[in-house]
Amino acid sequence: MNPTDSFEDLLRADLASAASTASTDLGVPVDSLLHDGRRQRRRHHALWAAAAACVATVAVGVGVLGGTDHSADRPGSTSDPVVTTVSAFDARVDVRVPGNGPAQPSLTERIALTREASGTYRVWMGQIGSPRLSSGGGMGGLDPARGQLLTDGDVAVLLAPASAVEAVLWSVGDLGAVTHVVADLPEVALRAFVFRSDGRSVDTAAPLESAWFRADGTPVTGGRDGSVVRFSDGQRLWVTADGGHFGLDDVGGPVAGGASAPLHEALGGASAVGRPDGSTTVWTVFAVVRDSAHDATVDFGGAVVPVTRIESLPVPGTGWTAIRGVVRGQVDSPRLSWTGSDGRRHEFVAGRTN
């Protein structure tokens, strides 16, 4: 037995010994896994229904893109991967995406498209110049008018029409700090919003959802226009077409990603967004109500806090009402209340699940 064999045998024995004493307790009951699995399936199906037919063709793009030569694998398959050769792209862009310090260096995401006979596009995406294994791949059937969200490791790319001026990404899972870079693909009249999480895989935070915004501030999801309300000072509140999400512009950017939240069936939702305003902190408290609303007030548990403005405006085309109160000073548990169409008083407390 040569020295290498001896060491390999020793290593095997040590690994087996360590593994034999490892806990085999999963930590949760199987029912919990089934529950999580079903929930992910439902969300996955809803989000990717349009793309499901294309899944079989995903993951041949890395070689095409000229990046690493790692072939992607299909579950349960041991056959060689399909390799597609594309001699020319109709559009291609390399986007430098900043990282989050030494642990997450910057990377270059390459996005390329070829035109399909149906007038749609096939998209190739992969990371180049990164030591990380790329999971780049291709997906067909991109309708330029609808846009498409694609993921690659800690990167998510929303391809939207060139007229899109803003975009926002959100997830039920925790994406951490998200930065984004915008790149144009003028040859195909598309704009790429390239988001990067702070290192966590965007797939593990799935389901991801996104919206892009027209120049007038209207959010677009799945090709459908949502609604937008502007309060008297110009601050925008937007609601997606399905009522699934809304947000409020923040001082730090045109879209309040942090204020995105699922609308509740009965009440809607609300959030308090801090806005530095000189030496005074201005809090904006808002709610979207699936009803008409009047006589809206803001209350802070009896504390005397001057309310600068309170407004309630109909959200066009929805039958809902947006209520917003602007309050000076640091406040806790702001409570919005209003009279609904049933003549009764209703309330929403920011931070409380309704």
C-alpha span between 248 and 287 (Å, rounded): 10
Compare residues 144 and 153 and give the one whose CB is closer to other proteins: 153
| Contact by Cβ (8 Å): 135, 58 | no
C-alpha span between 169 and 160 (Å, rounded): 13
Rg of the chain (C-alpha set): 25
Q: What is the DSSP letter of 134?
A: P
Residues 6+ positions from 78 with CB-CB distance below 8 Å: none
Whether residue 207 has a cis bond before it, omega within 30° of 0: yes
Asked if 52 is part of the footprint of other proteins (rule: CB under 8 A), the reply reads no
Strand order through the sheet with 219-221: 166-171, 208-213, 219-221, 224-225
Least distance CB 317 / other proteins (angstroms):
35
- Per CB under 8 A, which region of 13-21, 105-113, 272-280, 317-325 contacts other proteins? 13-21
Exactly one of 1, 5, 20, 265 binds other proteins (CB under 8 A); that residue is 20
| Contact by Cβ (8 Å): 68, 62 | yes
Least distance CB 120 / other proteins (angstroms):
25
Asked if 33 is part of the footprint of other proteins (rule: CB under 8 A), the reply reads yes
Asked if 101 is part of the footprint of other proteins (rule: CB under 8 A), the reply reads no
Asked if 53 is part of the footprint of other proteins (rule: CB under 8 A), the reply reads no
Binding pattern for the stretch 61-100 against other proteins, x by CB under 8 A and - elsewhere: --------xxxxx-xxxx----------------------
Q: How many positions of this chain bind other proteins (CB under 8 A)?
A: 45
Asked if 5 is part of the footprint of other proteins (rule: CB under 8 A), the reply reads no
**Footprint on this chain of other proteins (rule: CB under 8 A):** 4, 7-8, 10-28, 30, 33-34, 36-38, 40-41, 44, 69-73, 75-78, 133, 199-201, 204
